[in-house]
Amino acid sequence: MNRTMGCVPSYCFSLTAWLLCIASLNFHCAALAEPPEQTLAEQIAFQTAVRTIAQSVVRVEASGLSIAALQGGRDATPTAGPSSGLVVGSEGWILTTEFAVPPDMKEVVITLPPNQKTPKQPLERLVGRVVGRDLNRRLVLLKCNPKIPLAEPQFATQKSIRQGQWALAVGRVWDPYEPSVAIGIVSAVDRCWSRAIQTDAAISPVNYGGPLLDIQGHVLGVIAPLLAETAGMETGTELYDSGVGFAVPMHDIAPLLPRLKKGETLRPGLLGIGYSTTDPINGRPVIEIVRADSPAAKAGMQSGDQITSVDGQTIQRIADIRHALTPKLAGDLIKITLRRDGEKTPRTIEAVLTDTLPPWKRSMIGIIPARQTLKTKNKKVENNGVIINSIWPNSPAEKAGLAPQDTITAIALTRGEDEDSLSFRPLASSNQLAGFLGGLTGSTSVVLKVRREDVFQDFPLTTALFPGTPLPGTPLKDTPAATPIRGNAPPAAIVKLDIPEVAETSWAVVPDQQEGPPLGVLVFFDEPSGILSENTVTAWAASWRRAASRHRVAAVLLPSSDSNTWRQADLERVGKTINVLSQRYEIDPTRIAFAGFRAGGTFAWLGANRFEAIVRGVCLIDADIPRRSKIQEASPERFRWVLFGTGTQKNTNAEMQQPFRKSEQQLRSAGIPVGLLSFSNDEEKALRLCQWVEALGLL
**DSSP H helices in 448-584:** 534-542, 545-551, 569-584
Highest mean pLDDT among 24-28, 29-33, 642-646: 642-646
CA distance 287 to 289: 6
Q: How confident is the model at residue 16 (pLDDT cuts 50, 70, 90)?
A: very low
- Domain 363-465: top CATH class: mainly beta
Going by their DSSP bridges, the two strands 519-525 and 553-557 should be labelled as parallel
Q: How confident is the model at residue 311 (pLDDT cuts 50, 70, 90)?
A: very high
CATH code reported for the domain at 52-266? 2.40.10.120
What is the three-class DSSP state of 124? Answer: coil
- pLDDT at residue 182 tops 70: yes
Nearest one of 344, 343, 346 to 335, comparing CA atoms:
346
Going by their DSSP bridges, the two strands 245-249 and 219-223 should be labelled as antiparallel
Strand order in the sheet with 313-314: 313-314, 306-310, 333-339, 347-352
Q: How confident is the model at residue 440 (pLDDT cuts 50, 70, 90)?
A: confident
Q: How confident is the model at residue 618 (pLDDT cuts 50, 70, 90)?
A: very high
Q: How confident is the model at residue 478 (pLDDT cuts 50, 70, 90)?
A: very low
Pick the CATH number of 493-695 from 3.90.1150.10, 3.30.559.10, 1.10.3720.10, 3.40.50.1820: 3.40.50.1820
Q: How confident is the model at residue 281 (pLDDT cuts 50, 70, 90)?
A: confident
Nearest one of 364, 683, 368 to 517, comparing CA atoms:
368
CA distance 172 to 623: 47
The pLDDT of residue 262 is: 96
CA distance 563 to 176: 49
The pLDDT of residue 342 is: 78
CA distance 543 to 64: 55
Question: Mean pLDDT for the chain?
Answer: 82
The pLDDT of residue 237 is: 53
Q: Which residues contact residue 33 at a Cβ distance below 8 angstroms, ignoring those fewer than 6 apart?
A: none
Give the residue with greater pLDDT, 597 vs 376.
597
Q: How confident is the model at residue 374 (pLDDT cuts 50, 70, 90)?
A: low
The beta strands (E) that lie in 204-284 are given as: 211-213, 219-223, 245-249, 265-266, 273-274
Q: How confident is the model at residue 647 (pLDDT cuts 50, 70, 90)?
A: confident
Contact 666, 675 (CB under 8 A): no
CA distance 369 to 387: 6
CA distance 75 to 678: 33
CA distance 461 to 458: 10
Q: What is the pTM of this model?
A: 0.76
**What's the average model confidence in pLDDT over 274-287?**
83
- Cα 292 to Cα 304, 333, 337, 359, 466, distances in angstroms: 15, 19, 20, 10, 16
- State the amino acid at position 649 in one-letter form: Q
- Cα 515 to Cα 59, 373, 485, 519, 541, distances in angstroms: 66, 10, 11, 11, 22
**485: how many CB neighbours lie within 10 A of its CB?**
21
Digit-coded pLDDT (tens) for 232-244: 445 555 555 567 8
**To the nearest 10°, the Cα dihedral for 307, 311, 317, 318?**
-80
Give the residue with greater pLDDT, 592 vs 630.
592
What is the three-class DSSP state of 318? Answer: helix
- CATH 1.20.1260.10 given to domain 273-352: no
What is the three-class DSSP state of 683? Answer: helix
- As annotated, the residues of the chain forming the CATH 2.30.42.10 domain(s) are 273-352, 363-465
CA angle 476, 480, 482 (to 5 degrees): 75
Nearest one of 439, 275, 312, 433 to 366, comparing CA atoms:
433
What is the three-class DSSP state of 459? Answer: strand
**49: how many CB neighbours lie within 10 A of its CB?**
21
- As annotated, the residues of the chain forming the CATH 2.40.10.120 domain(s) are 52-266
The alpha carbon dihedral of 279, 281, 284, 289 has a sign of positive
Contacts 24+ apart (CB under 8 A), 319-326: 319/280, 319/281, 319/282, 320/285, 321/285, 322/193, 323/190, 323/193, 323/194, 324/194, 325/269, 325/271, 325/353, 326/136, 326/192, 326/193, 326/194, 326/195, 326/268
**What's the average model confidence in pLDDT over 341-364?**
90
H or E segment at 654? helix 653-657
Contact 544, 512 (CB under 8 A): no
The pLDDT of residue 122 is: 83
The pLDDT of residue 489 is: 54
**What's the average model confidence in pLDDT over 20-24?**
38
Backbone Cα Rg of the chain: 30
**What letter does residue 41 receive in the DSSP assignment?**
H
Give residue 510's Cα distance to chain centre: 31
Highest mean pLDDT among 220-229, 333-342, 407-416, 479-488: 333-342
- Cα 170 to Cα 21, 51, 214, 240, 367, distances in angstroms: 17, 11, 11, 15, 59
Q: Which residues contact residue 669 at a Cβ distance below 8 angstroms, ignoring those fewer than 6 apart?
A: none
Highest mean pLDDT among 99-108, 150-159, 250-259, 502-511: 250-259
What is the three-class DSSP state of 536? Answer: helix
Digit-coded pLDDT (tens) for 578-593: 998 999 999 998 899 9
